[in-house]
Amino acid sequence: MDYCLQDHGNNSNNGTALISTVASIAASAMLIRTIAYDYIPHDILNYFYLKLHEMKRFFSSQLTIVIEEFKGVSKNQVYEAAEVYLGSKGTLSALRVKASKSEEDKNLAFVVDKNQQVCDDYEGVMVWWKLCCEYVASTGNKEHPDDVNASLRSEVRSYELTFHMKHKEKIFNSYLPFVLERAKAIREGNMALKLHTIEYDHFWVGEVKFCHPMSFKTLAIDDELKKEIVDDLDKFVNGKEFYKRIGKPWKRGYLLHGPPGTGKTSLVAAMANYLSYDIYDLDLTAVSSNKDLKNLILGMSNRSILVMEDIDCSIKLPNREEGEEKEENNKEADKSEDSKVTLSGLLNAIDGLWSCCGEERIIVLTTNHKEKLDPALLRPGRMDMHIHLSYCTFSAFQQLAFNYLGISHHKLFQQIQGLLGKVQVTPAEISGELTKNFNSKAPLQELVRFLHSKDVVQENPKEPLQELVML
């Protein structure tokens, strides 16, 4: 026991001696540093630190990429991508982040604060990002003569990306392209949707914020049809390499046809919200020539939906199968009205050479009378899917009942299902009845009375229910 106590005492004395030694060395280092700053010229000190840094780099296994904010007079796209990408990472690992939100954003945006370091793991490779800020004089930056923007800013900002040099090829060829693509997706997902319309001088106006609340979750169409549409949209969005491989523009056309009130406009809104695509509402009667139509198509952004509603009513687009004589008359009319949009001009705009000057675009035509449209407008490559939206099915009614009344089951559902099999009623009519009787004690009973009041078709078959045709 005495030996153990004596040994413990020796360890305590050794620890005290070690602390005293470290303190003496630290004090000496501070003294030497003070003397060096006071008596050694700064040029010599800078030269010494530079050589010391070079030695450190020589023995270091780390590689650092510097990504400056500007490249000459233009913003560095890699810097912008890093800023957006790290905003999603910085909230998890950085100690300080800056938050902001504009009217263009749907969510809060986060940016890493200066001199903060963020760690990222890419496929098992650890990398470190750091936002560096160097203050400059307002009259310019003599240390960065190539940076013409320095005179306009109080600081020069850059990101430093540090990683083990053995991963250099992977960082250059995989990680940085991944950051660019991921930042693009984050930026697009955070942008509020816009509804673009045509101004009098044939330019798009995009100040209107698209706030339609419809989604595929609340859209009242047949469940199977809804699933087929969503699956097709998913294939389109993920089909960039497929379209490139087959040599076709990355676009897709949808024809929505059926009676009024069957949900064509609601389906367009659900598609836009599902894909986070802007909508371009094109009224062909407001376009004075084929040339203006072509310019409007060129002025659309990528990841957008071009909508032409009631295409059969907007301009004279004759069905050329109705007779040669009528076709000749229409050709003469086209010649006498060169300033108007023609069927040929519309076909070239949506499927000609100019249509490939953009990507990830969807074209939607709506009509109540598909038979009035020229087959050339409906062929694959122009309208790839024909979606027939007809009278209300039972699954569509169930969605409406849940939307308006918050119920999924009721004793009257079976009776309503039987009536919907005999009565031609649109989802819009059902919605109107549920809205009108929302405060009623028995809204479904009122709906049953309404359905009984409709003419029941017994001898003549109903129009086909909602369907989708792949071309």
Instruction: Look at residue 197 in the predicted model and tell me its pLDDT.
Output: 83
Whole-number Å distance between alpha carbons of 182 and 131 = 19
Which CATH number does the domain housing residue 290 bear?
3.40.50.300
Instruction: Look at residue 116 in the predicted model and tell me its pLDDT.
Output: 78
* Same domain for 243 and 183: no
Q: How far is CA 44 from CA 36, 40, 48, 306, in A?
A: 10, 7, 6, 67
Weakest-pLDDT range from 22-31, 143-152, 253-262, 362-371: 143-152
pLDDT band at 12 (very low <50, low <70, confident <90, very high): low
* Same domain for 210 and 174: no
Whether 168 contacts 148, CB under 8 Å = no
| Residue where a domain terminates, one of 125, 160, 190 | 190
Q: pLDDT tens digit string along 299-327?
A: 888 889 999 999 888 666 555 555 444 44
Q: How far is CA 413 from CA 226, 417, 418, in A?
A: 21, 6, 9
CA dihedral 217, 223, 224, 228 (to 10 degrees): -20
Whole-number Å distance between alpha carbons of 301 and 232 = 21
* Same domain for 310 and 452: no
- 14 belongs to a structural domain: no
Q: pLDDT tens digit string along 376-435?
A: 888 888 899 999 998 999 999 999 999 999 899 999 999 999 999 888 899 999 999 898
Whole-number Å distance between alpha carbons of 116 and 97 = 8
- 354 belongs to a structural domain: yes
- 6 belongs to a structural domain: no
232/88: higher pLDDT: 232
Q: Determine the structural domain holding residue 96 and report its residue range.
A: 62-190
Whole-number Å distance between alpha carbons of 399 and 267 = 14
Instruction: Look at residue 363 in the predicted model and tell me its pLDDT.
Output: 94
Neighbouring residues of 362: CB distance < 8 A, sequence distance ≥ 6: 236, 251, 252, 253, 254, 271, 275, 277, 304, 305, 306
pLDDT band at 176 (very low <50, low <70, confident <90, very high): very high
Q: Is 415 exposed, middle or buried (0-12, 13-18, 19+ CB in 10 A)?
A: middle
* Same domain for 260 and 310: yes
pLDDT band at 109 (very low <50, low <70, confident <90, very high): low
The average pLDDT across 73-77 equals 82
Global pTM?
0.64
112/227: higher pLDDT: 227
Whole-number Å distance between alpha carbons of 157 and 132 = 6
What is the count of structural domains for the chain? 3
- 35 belongs to a structural domain: no
* Same domain for 352 and 204: yes
* Same domain for 371 and 331: yes
- 56 belongs to a structural domain: no
* Structural element, H or E, at residue 159: strand 155-164
Backbone φ, ψ for residue 66 (5° rounding): -100, 125
Instruction: Look at residue 172 in the predicted model and tell me its pLDDT.
Output: 92
* Same domain for 450 and 379: no
Q: Is 124 left (phi over 0), alpha (psi -120 to 50) or beta?
A: left
Of all residues in the chain, the percent with pLDDT exceeding 90 is 27
Whole-number Å distance between alpha carbons of 398 and 383 = 30
- 26 belongs to a structural domain: no
* Same domain for 137 and 283: no
Q: Is 176 left (phi over 0), alpha (psi -120 to 50) or beta?
A: alpha
Whether 278 contacts 194, CB under 8 Å = yes
Instruction: Look at residue 252 in the predicted model and tell me its pLDDT.
Output: 94
- Quote the tokens at residue 177: 């392209």
User: Cα dihedral sign for 24, 27, 31, 32?
Assistant: positive
* Same domain for 350 and 204: yes
| Residue where a domain terminates, one of 388, 414, 433 | 388
CA dihedral 407, 412, 417, 420 (to 10 degrees): -100
| Residue where a domain terminates, one of 365, 388, 411 | 388
- 28 belongs to a structural domain: no
* Same domain for 213 and 331: yes
Whether 65 contacts 160, CB under 8 Å = yes
Of all residues in the chain, the percent with pLDDT exceeding 70 is 68
Q: Which residue has the tokens 């509020």?
A: 192
The average pLDDT across 442-460 equals 75
* Same domain for 166 and 103: yes
* Same domain for 368 and 262: yes
Instruction: Look at residue 3 in the predicted model and tell me its pLDDT.
Output: 41
- 16 belongs to a structural domain: no
- Quote the tokens at residue 188: 């697009």
